[in-house]
Structure 1
């Protein structure tokens, strides 16, 4: 199936993106699709930042996938620019059709276009299937990540 369109998200996509985030087992406990106010404010911040790229996959006029691509210029690795892929979601009815692979390939190509020499991502330790998926795409589990909740 190749009838998916990849494009930058627009504010009208926010409800569909939040629905994808909330439909995920981990997101079900932390997302609140009944109140879009914080998501709309976050979208405004993302849209104003040239290093943030919120992408959607659309099929038949509906958002069926999403991810966020963040560009991070740095000093390490001889001043390399890297991108971070986060919040990858594909609607359950679209899984197994190759959309996730095409969405990730699109993000990698976009990273190249943006001048990145490294693409990285994190994945919750419970997402074993996602880990296999990322490894099939050539990503390696090279680091251990840590988080500190501030609120």
Structure 2
């Protein structure tokens, strides 16, 4: 009987031991899966936090970049306005100087034209005087000739 009991007891103990080990392994597996899930959840939460933080940093960086771009744009616009104003002042000054030069040239041209007319008038007056003198000389000569002829005629009649 002990022998039969010994033969049955050993497989029964092995079976019980195997069942206990199996349950223990299942329990360990469940604990490991739970731990893996917990770690995965922590990792996911950590990834979410990192992602949120990254989005916040990206948003702040984008806002900073946009603000910097606005400042650059504003400075560029101010610089363009200043350059345009400088160009307008230069153009105005150039126009004033050109108008003064044109006025001076026009005055010189008028003076030259007036001087030319005065010269032509003087020449014409001189020509007139010479022509008048020639005419008067011719008239005087004609008078002398006629007087001479008249005197000759009066002297011949005695």
Greater radius of gyration (CA): 2
Question: Which structure dedicates a bigger proportion of its chain to strand?
Answer: 1
Q: TM-score, normalised by structure 1?
A: 0.14
- Choose between structure 1 and 2 for higher RCO, CA contacts under 8 A separated by at least 6 residues: 1
